Structure 1
């Protein structure tokens, strides 16, 4: 697996730490998917789970969109992958999904999130609520780190199942 991640610094201000840890975890998911075919990316874990590496990429594109576009910036972007009809479509509907499209959408959402985040103070409150609650930019960044960290654990197991590769 190719690994171009830059480890987060041991010393830095809060914003640098949050941004660097988020970038580390975004990169970790990319590393876990590197070098695999579409079929390998679609390979499911164990029933009844529909989780796959491709599903995780699609899911994280959705999560980036929801938290940065919709909650932080109030854009109201439509849900990706048909999640309005099937809330688990990002995971359930990968059998014919394009890996190229999923990775392109995920990277575009990450880039948009970076741009939005760069101009917002950490204490700023998002323009939309999530589950009836206001969220600070700081909370969103911490949540995104947690979201990636949790799913990167899944990605570790999925990658090992696909081809035996392990690693941080």
Structure 2
């Protein structure tokens, strides 16, 4: 599989640009994981950190689910990889965890996010609320936050990939 990254148009309307940058960052994370074995994808950065590329993908599946299902659409979508007893479960990988499962789950959450966001305008307020703060958001805020979340974690992915096999790039 070769991940194609597409930068958004420099003259697009606001929604197209926000969705374009979000997709670009989603593609970047997939690209950073490309061509590695499950064991390499589970490789933690450096002790005591659990941070790994597979953990980042699992985390982003949880983040997509949280913002675009629970908060945006008020769906009753529980956690996938973490629990109340293990809030870092998305980052805690074992030899039983596979790229196929992590990637498939992440892509399913992205597909559901696209389905849910299609029903909202940028200024529409979320149906659900943030589970800790009780706040509501407009879709524009969610897109901007998700771009920031991916961009930050893609920086982590750059360092993780370089540590694993020396590959570096934008």
| TM-score category, normalised to shorter length | over 0.9
Higher normalized helix content (fraction of residues)? 1
Of 157, 160, 164, the residue aligned with 1:158 is 160
| Aligned residues of 2:42 and 2:93 also touching (Cα < 8 A) | no
Q: What corresponds to 2:134 in structure 1?
A: 132
Deviations for 1:112-155, whole angstroms, at most 9, x for unmatched residues?
A: 10111112101111111112211111111100000000000000
Question: How far has the Cα of 1:12 moved from its partner?
Answer: 1.0
Cα distance in 2, alignment partners of residues 104 and 30 from structure 1? 11
Q: What corresponds to 1:25 in structure 2?
A: 25
Q: What corresponds to 1:73 in structure 2?
A: 73
Q: What corresponds to 1:96 in structure 2?
A: 96
Q: TM-score, normalised by structure 1?
A: 0.96
* Number of aligned positions between the proteins: 168
Q: Which runs of 4+ in 1 moved over 6 A?
A: none
Q: TM-score, normalised by structure 2?
A: 0.95
Unaligned runs of 5+ in 2: none
Larger displacement relative to structure 2 (151-160 or 6-15):
6-15
Cα distance in 2, alignment partners of residues 94 and 150 from structure 1? 24
Output the aligned Cα RMSD.
1.3
Larger displacement relative to structure 2 (96-105 or 53-62):
96-105
Larger displacement relative to structure 2 (76-85 or 139-148):
76-85
